[in-house]
Structure 1
Amino acid sequence: MADLVKGSLPAGVVSAFLAAVGDIALILSGDGMIVDITVGHGELASQEFADWVGTAWIDTVTIESRPKVAEMLADAAKPGAQKALRWRQVNHVTPGGDVPIRYLMLALGDDDHLIAIGRDLRGAAVMQQRLLQAQQAIERDYIRQRQSEIRYHMLFDSVSEPVLIVDAEDRRIREANPAAYRLLDASPGDLAGRALTEIVAPEHRDDLIAYLGAAEVTDDRAPLGLRMVNGRGDASLSARLFRQASKPLFIVRIETIPESNAVPQFDALLGSVIERMPDSFVLVDRELNVLTANSAFLEMTEVSSIDRVVGLQLGKWLGRPGIDLELIVGQLREHGAVRNVATIMRGAAGSKEEIEVSAVCAPMGDSECYGFTIRDVARRERGVPVSPGDVPRSVGQLTELVGRMSLKDIVRESTDLIERLCIEAALVYTSDNRASAAEILGVSRQSLYSKLHRHGLGNLVPAEI
């Protein structure tokens, strides 16, 4: 090829040739026959094109590209063709598949030979394919995002409870659902940009600001009771922090309280006192599902928040399984109250504490509920000194006898202890009704009277006879 080109190109053509050096060069005769081939690109295998020498250029391309080849050959033969250089893309047929190449056609001076300088477009095609895939992925993500936004707005607007989206930095309302506009008697769009404190009565605005500050650091804040602005009644407001595009926002839910069900001031005060009680308090329904509890109960059960106990069975923590709680509830339903019943409290982490329970039954609509006060007595009992001659009163005191008495004597003492404790518990549960106590313990009355005498708990002859 070098011999063919040497000395035959004018300076202008050589300059154009050097400026447009590509990946492949074809030397063509005037009628379009391939005279020589030079491959200058590593990805183009020269053996794929070696058989083209002596072949018509138009026969090496696909059917769709043949009109382009014919046009380039015709244009190159026209006078002044060097001034109207134009790149054209054709697809070559190779054993490895179609190869897209972009050609620039030049005439070789006064000779009737032509040179076609080509650039491999497969790399660009790969990049275009990747760009297309990226665009399609972006489009799919955009469609999914739009669908999510549509579902969000449908859900947000269909909720019957007033809901506000509030900026956590300036405490201003960003969005409100139709229920919130109805509650505040506002036209669509009027709430956006307003301060959240404007929707509550002036005397409760400081409480609302403090509540939002606490809601920024914890998610288990109890709802805040307050009065709405312009005499719209009492409401319960709860807020939870979330982030959108790295911006902190509050989702604020408002639950209106009908006037007939509004909590009087002294009831709120009573609830505050119960919450601060050192003794545990828990309220359950007739099925012993927890309705509410104070902080001392959460601490004793080793549970982090009230949400984790509401709805669960009280027996999960209180009493020995299958024994204590059933007897306590039986006495509650029969007598309406029990006092100072000794039992145990089991914590979520596996701890056990000895406690005393008092409980009362109260009406709740068409059913009833039970209120339990629970006092930890383990420390008090551990502080009572035990002498070897005294009868042990607890398992802890029994273990203190190790080293002072033989195992045989300790076992005998523990048997007597269990028997005495069970009899005492049965008498407490039955309000000292010995016939009922004997039935609960599964012994005859005469056997119970004998045990009462042996343990010094009563006379041999029953009082009720």
Structure 2
Amino acid sequence: MNKPIAPPRMTGFAHSETMPGPLSPSSASSILAAVGDVTFILSPAGKILDIAVAQGELASHGFASWVGSDWVDTVTPESRGKVAEMLADAVKDGATPRWRQINHPAAGGDVPVRYMVMALDEGSRLVAVGRDMRGAAMMQQRLLQTQQSLERDYIRLRQAETRYRLLFEIASEPVLIIDAATRRIREANPAAHHMLDADDGALIGDQAQTIFDPRDRDAFVAYLGAVEAADDVAPVTLRLNNARGAADISARLFRQARTALLLVRITAEQDTVADHHRHDATLRDVVERMPDAFVLADADLNILTANAAFIEITQMPSIDRIKGARLGSWLGRPGIDLELIIGQLREHGSVRNVASILRGSAGTEEEIEVSAVVAPMGSTTCYGFTIRNVARRLRDAPALVRDAPRSVEQLTELVGRMSLKEIVRESTDLIERLCIEAALEYTSDNRASAAEILGLSRQSLYSKLHRHGLGNLVAGDQ
């Protein structure tokens, strides 16, 4: 805890021989009257014996009429305790006098006076020297009023800034604030980011000319120079970068915080805007009509939108029943396929033709192939999935496709389409069939000799021949 700071102790003069002799009553009275704005001579009990007022203004408040009154009766109620403490300290041995503020009631309001009380004639009389504090109070009042005025101005400034910031943000017209010295973009509203296909905040700090076609960048820099020199420069038509079409550019110079800035407005030509909207509409129509299912999901794999083919393959009644649902409710084996696909997407950005299954709402399962890509949308990440139903293609394939694979490559292609148990069974059948075919070829299709070479009974060999479809049961038996 901070200790209270003790008042400075009063010390006497260093050379007593320089002091004058006993002062006359008139000299002492003059000195005491000159020390403060008002001076009281008090009895030890606090009765006012005499008053000296240095300023006529204090006399107008009735100070001179208080002779014979108790000092405590001339102050406001909250100051009476201070008066009692000052009188007690003045007659106390070793006590150091200190200044205390006392308020006197008056018709125009309380009069603040700062007093210090000292004992005279070994405590037979007291002297209270007071200094008028109205000047300091008035100065404090002015300071408070100035501070309140500044706060009101600051609030108005913040409110105006909020209004203009809101107008800047919601404006449909692209607007840029460019540093006139460096030609760098200081601010850009959302409409400018949308028009230039940039993420929020991505344009800040870039050179302004980079948003235009390289062939028109020098013309844009020259136009900004003309705007700095004159106020009536007509707008100019320039081509935007990345084949976004032409746009009308108008600029205005202004200053803020001693910095020259340029406010640049970009108005795209109507043909360019119409083409952009028309292409967007065409793209949406193509995605909606494509035969393969398409679904767009957020970073948590919640469905944002999907086309008609996805609604059909999931056997759901409408798109409203799909939006917001988890993609894992239909796609892939739980805890396996989607986790692998998302891991590949995060590492490579895209995946192609991953074998999986799709579970319909009626409990059906279809074999599918999934391709996916990362689709950034502003500051968030989304995933686009195309899903192709391959069940009909697998069913319509020749029976040889479902026979035992003929090579290790064919076996590895089964990963993702079949479980490990099924793949092991397929590989066992492959080895068994290859061995039987080799034994028959070695014995010139003599079943008895082939069974002996393979270490099988003749009945076991016939059974395996029948299971693998390797001819009738008696041909080549002799």
**So what's the TM-score if we normalise by structure 1?**
0.50
Structure with larger Rg: 2
